[in-house]
Amino acid sequence: MFPKIFSALLLLGILLSVARAVPSVETGKPPVPPDLYFAFEEVPPGDNGIINWRRAGEVMVPANYNVRAAGQYFWTPGVRIPAEVSLPDLQHWLNQNQKALHLFDASLQKPRMQWPIHDPNKTAPELRPLGYLISARLLEADQLAEAGHFAEATCSLSNSLRLTEFGVEGDASLMEYFIASLARERVQDGILRLAGHRQVPVACLQQLLGDLPELDAETNTYAHVLRVDFTIYDYAAYDPKHISENWSKIAETNNAMQIFEQELHRPLRIVLDPSLVSQHPLPLDMVANLANDARNYRIFLANALGAWTNRSFIVEDERVASKTKFLEDIQPLMALVKDERLPLSRHAAQRARAAYLKIENPVGRILGLSDLYDNGSRIFRYRTGRAATRTVLALLIFERQKRRLPAALLDLVEAGILNKVPTDPFSGAPLLYSRPRQIVWSVGENGMDDQGSGTAWHFIGNDAVWKIPELN
């Protein structure tokens, strides 16, 4: 799942940059609203640990298909690596990445972490290492645990958690925040995998629990991320000079179509066809789009700060309505070019010109059709994942101390392992727990307790479920 989301996020970055790169008669922009403004103060490269990630990305050997397929085993709690997985192949991949891992690990010694402002037309080389090299670190930690080196494995996992936290907090944009948070969830699963070793000292588990504070401040981080994203990327992308110089790169958006439903692929390619866009007097209404973007950012933040059950659906509802209206409005255009090859010939574009000019803000409307940044549930997932990880880890500590699992989560508080019973962010009530079934679960996005009906992928199912690993 991680590589798919990672690719989709990068593709959306491409789409946003080139879809906005169209000529416009609009020359002015309103100022950034104060509540969405972020003043970027660049950390000197020598002090910035994420510059190390960029260097690591330049020398890193990405995981091939076999290594990625095996990856789920060395960070999934309670799962033995099957015999058919080639451990020599995994070790060879680790050996290939020793230089990259050294650069990545050295970032822990830097005084600051800050994502550099990146060129939206280029892939940021510091993004990829966070996924691949965290996986490599988890493999190393798993090997240490298998060899009985539990203190070293614990230290490695703690440092991996710090690295992913740096990614979340380092003036991250939404894309960087999502990727770093996904990597952080992977580390949390790796911690539970270590905790499933019967011989791991309780002190190691207690250390890891101490490294996993509750994510009560995650909403503050998210508010900061929204300001970074709006000011540095969203607002700045509406640059008339940049737009007029780069609109012809629209053809690159063909690579980004996989983030949209199949029914939209041909319509979007036609609406973004350079020969049509170049004829429109206002293909992108920057003022209108910025005002709508600012409103959506505020709704995202309000949803994250409020109760899950009280969230606003206005963005989702409007997106559905916008898609329907968009497809209706372009029907005359689509009929004129239904048999034409893409990109359109000059003759076909000329024939379709009148129909295209009747479409208001065609490129701007496309930007609202993707739901990839529809992130209303993400912050709740991240907070729930941390709460569930802490709960399972606390249960395993209790089991080692008492030689049994507790009857209820309140027992963890009475035993002094947790300060309070963990809350399910989706319900506002305590997380749910079954000792006989050895699971912890959240009610998930539907807000209803489906009796722990879910899968090993946590949020794929009616409930979000965490299995308590069997000690091995």
312-336 confidence digits (pLDDT tens): 888 888 888 999 999 999 999 999 9
Per residue in 50-71, pLDDT (tens digit) is 999 999 999 999 888 888 888 7
Q: Which residue has the tokens 């970027």?
A: 40
Q: What is the pLDDT, as a whole number, of residue 76?
A: 82
Dihedral angle at the C-alpha atoms of 397, 401, 406, 410, nearest 10 degrees?
Answer: -70
pLDDT tens for 190-223 read: 999 999 998 999 999 999 999 999 887 777 899 9
Torsion of CA 253, 257, 259, 260, to 10 degrees: 120
User: Could you report the per-residue pLDDT of 81-118, keeping only the tens digit for each?
Assistant: 777 778 888 899 999 999 999 999 999 999 999 999 87
Q: Is the dihedral of CA 420, 422, 427, 432 positive or negative?
A: negative
Amino acid 253: pLDDT: 55
pLDDT of residue 6: 44
Helix crossing, 127-146 with 150-169: angle to 10°? 160
Determine the pLDDT at residue 373. Answer: 52
Position 242 confidence tier, pLDDT thresholds 50, 70, 90: low
Q: What is the pTM of this model?
A: 0.85
What's the full length of the chain, in residues? 472
Mean pLDDT value of segment 295-300 = 91
Query: Residue 420: its pLDDT value, please?
Result: 94
- State the residue for tokens 């609109």: 247
Q: Is 263 exposed, middle or buried (0-12, 13-18, 19+ CB in 10 A)?
A: exposed
pLDDT of residue 3: 42
Predicted local confidence at residue 8, as pLDDT = 44
Instruction: Give the Å distances, CA to CA, from 461 to 93, 413, 443, 444, 455.
Output: 33, 29, 10, 9, 6
Within 13 Å and on the Cβ side, how many CA atoms surround 92? 8
> Which residues fall within 8 angstroms of residue 122, CB to CB, at 6 or more apart?
none
Q: Which residues contact 471 (CB under 8 A, 6 or more apart)?
A: 196, 197, 198, 396, 399
Q: Which two tokens stand for residue 39?
A: 């003043």
- Stronger pLDDT, 261 or 158, i.e. the higher one: 158
Question: For the residues 125-140, what does the mean pLDDT come to?
Answer: 91
* Alpha-carbon span 442 to 438, nearest angstrom: 14
Name residue 14's amino acid.
I
The amino acid at 456: A
- Angstrom distance (rounded) from CA 440 to CA 463: 10
